[in-house]
Amino acid sequence: MASTQSPLREVRIWAVRREPPWPQGFSFSLLDAGERARADSFTHRRDRSMYLAAHAGLRLVLGDRLGIHPRDIRFGRDRCAHCGGQHGRPVLLGGPDTLHFSLSHCAGITLVALADAPVGVDAERLPGHRTVELCLARLHLRERDELLRTPGEQRPLRFCRLWTRKEAYLKALGTGLGRGLHRDYLGDASAGRPPDWTVVNLSCGPQDGTHAAAVAIPAGVRTPTEPCELNWSAYGHVPGRKASLE
């Protein structure tokens, strides 16, 4: 695969908040066998629909970037930066080594990120107080102290913003949660954070009161403050477009 566009020079992030305006069968047709099996495994229709939207959206933006049909994109796994196993960050097979992507979906919002450097993006719904308390012991000592000094009613949001920063960073590293959560400081202060990395929270727009999100990228790459909305009709591969490859 050869990119038809110039280097990104920034992280591009899209938010998916609703299903695409076409039958699910079209989204299903864009996926590979593994993705289709995963979609079929969901018991609830809403979960299946949002999974299809997330993965169809990822394939559409990647296909647009690479100048190929979304269904021709093939995914694999990089080596884990933590243990060396073949279960690291998702990568393109046969694609340019300079194009990186990240996907995160939770109830209510999906984020898709593209960059010319390793990137991680994460979105989460605010947890309950009990979940926060159970996770505190796993965090970096400074992070734990910051949260314990936070008034109880504000703690879930502050924790969720921290958690998304941490997950985004670990995704960008390629280790995921296999790297101990206590090892890296991603708290509110800039001092002590991982050097040579930019890790920032993103606005969730209308869901700022119920969700948190973050992106991680090597330092020097421009990052947005909020994702743009994925415009399903902007892609030539979708039903109803004259330029559709269908």
Mean pLDDT on 189-195: 94
pLDDT above 70: percentage of residues in the chain: 91
Q: Is the pLDDT of residue 85 over 80?
A: no
**Which amino acid belongs to residue 46?**
R
pLDDT range class, residue 79, cuts 50, 70, 90: confident
pLDDT of 200 higher than 90: yes
pLDDT value at position 17?
A: 92
Q: Give the confidence band of 112 by pLDDT, cuts at 50, 70, 90.
A: very high
Give the Cα separation of 83 and 195 in Å (integer).
22
pLDDT at position 86 is: 65
Average pLDDT, the chain: 90
Which comes out higher in pLDDT, residue 242 or 229?
229
Q: What is the pLDDT of residue 242?
A: 45
Residue range 91-116: mean pLDDT, rounded: 91
The tokens describing 16, both together, are 């998916």
Q: Which of 21-35, 67-81, 184-198, 216-230 has the lowest mean pLDDT?
A: 67-81
Query: Does 72 have pLDDT greater than 60?
Result: yes
- 38 against 3, higher pLDDT: 38
| CA–CA separation, 185 and 202 (whole Å) | 18
Q: What pLDDT is recorded for position 115?
A: 95
Which tokens in the block code for residue 214?
């973050």
User: What is the value of pTM for the model shown?
Assistant: 0.90
Give the residue among 90, 11, 36, 27 at the shortest CA–CA distance from 232.
27
